[in-house]
Amino acid sequence: MMKLFPAAILATALLSGCALYATTNFQPYEAKNGTFEGQGGAKETIDGVDFWTNGEPPRKFRMLGVINDERVSNPITMNGLKGAVAQKAKEVGGDAVIWNGESNRHGDHASSKFAVVKYLD
């Protein structure tokens, strides 16, 4: 039992440390007319949030803002990307996110951008 305790502390420290290397920030979008209507595309739903990875929702929507995500590029942190984006989108009242079509990798870091939208119909 005592041998497992140090291993459990180390595992917890490593996993919580990975969270320190990921940031998911929201920036509001401002426009005279922030209402759009898409033509459709490829969609995946994660934690109740629609992720449009190719195209956009085939319905009317309002742009709420942009999520910028930066994290260390490793399997543990990258596995949490969509969950973190879905959580941030929900926090700001979004129904869906639209991936901007690119993710940048800078050495051991990756960054991604998603538009956050609210369905209007």
* pLDDT tens digits along 37-88: 999 999 999 999 999 999 999 999 999 999 998 888 777 777 788 999 999 9
Provide the residue type at 75 as one letter: P
The whole-number pLDDT of residue 18 equals 44
pLDDT band at 5, cuts 50/70/90? low
- Mean pLDDT, residues 22-37: 89
In whole angstroms, give the CA distance from residue 62 to residue 50: 14
**Band of pLDDT at residue 28, cut at 50, 70 and 90:** very high
20-24, 66-70, 103-107, range with greatest mean pLDDT? 66-70
Beta-bridge partner residues of 118: 62
8 A C-beta contact, residue 98 and residue 115: yes
Which domains are delineated in the chain? Answer: 22-119 (3.30.1660)
